[in-house]
């Protein structure tokens, strides 16, 4: 993000101990650790993960660092807004998967084996692959995943049987049902 580059530029040639003292840290060691953690993650990852260093929360740390480095408040707010948008979009696909239906009917299989093998009927989707994509792009990406899976498995899942159809499951309205002919 633009603000990450600006922060790194503003830190160039400055004593980091002085920076963290200006931020209000009594112990420069803890402040330096938090600053290094921020620099290693970048604002997007830093602000979307949990963090507390006994002085600041992640948001407070980000704001105080930007204040000490005299970064424009409007840029800070735009960055926060962009991160909120990305987080909301990621959340929509957080637990997204493609369910592979085989119309399996249990006969003599032990329950613990079925539970262990259940993951073979779900194809996890990486949320980052779907961020800010149109419905058409999402469907194309899912279609490629389904075709690749079908090709790899030969249209059959061990123990579960022949693949009859697949469907997506997401937290949003973006869901579709894929029949065998579509595969």
Asked whether the beta carbons of 93 and 170 are under 8 A apart, the reply is yes
| CA 87 vs CA 42, 102, 127: distances in Å | 15, 34, 10
Does pLDDT of 21 surpass 90?
Answer: yes
The pLDDT tens digits for 110-153 are 999 999 999 999 999 888 888 888 888 888 898 899 999 999 99
The pLDDT tens digits for 51-87 are 778 888 888 999 999 999 999 999 999 998 998 888 8
Distance CA 154, CA 22 (A): 62
Which residue is it, tokens 């194809």? 123
């Amino acid at each position: 993000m633009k603000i990450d580059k600006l922060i790194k530029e503003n830190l160039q040639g400055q004593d980091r101990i002085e920076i963290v003292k200006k931020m209000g840290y009594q112990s420069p060691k803890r402040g330096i650790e938090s600053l290094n953690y921020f620099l290693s993650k970048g604002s997007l990852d830093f602000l979307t993960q949990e963090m507390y260093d006994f002085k600041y929360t992640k948001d407070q740390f980000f704001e105080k660092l930007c204040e000490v480095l005299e970064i424009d408040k409007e840029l800070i707010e735009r960055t926060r807004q962009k991160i909120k948008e990305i987080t909301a979009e990621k959340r929509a696909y957080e637990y997204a998967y493609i369910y592979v239906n085989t119309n399996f009917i249990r006969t003599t299989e032990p329950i613990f084996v079925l539970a262990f093998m259940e993951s073979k009927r779900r194809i996890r989707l990486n949320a980052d692959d779907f961020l800010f994509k149109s419905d058409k792009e999402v469907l194309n990406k899912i279609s490629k995943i389904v075709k690749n899976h079908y090709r790899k498995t030969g249209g059959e899942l061990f123990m579960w049987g022949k693949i009859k159809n697949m469907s997506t499951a997401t937290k949003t309205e973006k869901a579709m049902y894929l029949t065998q002919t579509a595969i």
